[in-house]
Amino acid sequence: MKIIMLGAPGAGKGTQAKKIAEKYEIPHVSTGDIFRANIKNGTELGMEAKKYMDAGALVPDELTVKILLDRVSQADCENGYVLDGFPRTIPQAEVLDKALSERGESIDYAIDVDVPDEAIVKRMGGRRACVTCGATYHIVNIPPKKEGICDQCGSELILRPDDEPATVQKRLDVYHEQTQPLIDFYQNKGVLHSVDGTRSMEEIFAEITALLG
Write out the catalytic residue numbers.
Answer: 13, 88, 127, 160, 171
116/102 Cα distance (integer angstroms) = 37
69/47 Cα distance (integer angstroms) = 16
DSSP, res 43? -
Q: Which of 29, 22, 21, 13 is nearest to 204 (CA)?
A: 13
Contacts of 154 (CB under 8 A, 6+ apart): none
DSSP conformation letters of 84-109: ES---SHHHHHHHHHHHHHTT----E
The alpha helices in 147-213, defined as continuous H runs, are 165-178, 181-188, 201-212
